[in-house]
Each structure stands twice: as structure tokens, then as C-alpha cells.
Structure 1
Amino acid sequence: MIYKPIDIGSECWIAAGSFVCPGVKIATGAVIGAKSVVTKSILEPWTVHGGNPAEKIRNRQIKNQPE
């Protein structure tokens, strides 16, 4: 088995049943939908992703969002 660290940014939400592959980076504020499979890094902050493989669904709309 090959070990690579997974880097999850602050204020992220990874829903139940999701799988994040080794070596993947998830940007600040990203949301991963339930039962999604994240095979590639998500480098765009404050976005919503889902599916198998996970793809961008939309940008997050947050009041007073940090830069």
C-alpha cells in the first residue's frame, strides 16, 4: 500500500461516505457531497463538488467570506 498525505484546508466539509484518494489536496472552504469520490486535488477555494469522480457543481455563496 502506498501512503501519501491528504491535505484538507480549513472550513471544509466532507460529507458522509465520501472517499478522498491519497495525495489529494482540498482547498479552503470546499464542500464535498455525500458518497463522492475525490480522485484529483480541488484547488479552487469556496466551491462545491460531488459525484464519482467528484466534479465542481458551483461556487459557495457565503456572507462575509474571508479572502
Structure 2
Amino acid sequence: MKKIEIGSYSWICAKAIVLPGVTCNEGSVLAAGSVTSKSLEAWTVYGGNPARKIKERNNFLKT
């Protein structure tokens, strides 16, 4: 069985679907109702079905 890994500061919004084997790296966001079968890059917002990169986020930890 493949694991789903969710990094620190990641956010999986309501009704979003994360398929087995996906890693949601630190600070990634998956928008409401989105579906992902691929790993999400750190500090990036994704949305849609299939999920696509929408924009980069500011890493507030790098201050």
C-alpha cells in the first residue's frame, strides 16, 4: 500500500482528493475540490482536476 505524505504547513482544502503515493511537500496547498495523483512542490498552490500549479507561495519561514 502506498502512503500519502503531508509536510509541515501544507493545506488540503475541503473535498480535495489526494491519491495514494503522493507527497504534499512543505507549504503546498491543494484547492477545494481538486484531485491530485502527482506530488505537490513545496510552497506552491494547486487546483483543478487534475490539479495544476496555480502560483508560488511566499515561504514565511525564510525570514
On whether the aligned pair clears a TM of 0.5, the verdict is yes
Rg (Cα) greater in structure: 1
Percent of pairs identical after alignment? 50
| Residue of structure 2 in register with 1:15 after alignment | 13
- Runs of 4+ aligned residues of structure 1 deviating over 4 Å after TM superposition are none
TM-score if structure 2 supplies the norm length?
0.90
Higher helix share: 2
The C-alpha deviation readout for 1:2-41, integer Å capped at 9, x for no partner, is x210001000110000110000001100011000001111
TM-score if structure 1 supplies the norm length?
0.85
Q: Which runs of 5+ in 2 are unaligned?
A: none
Count of residue pairs brought into register by the alignment: 62
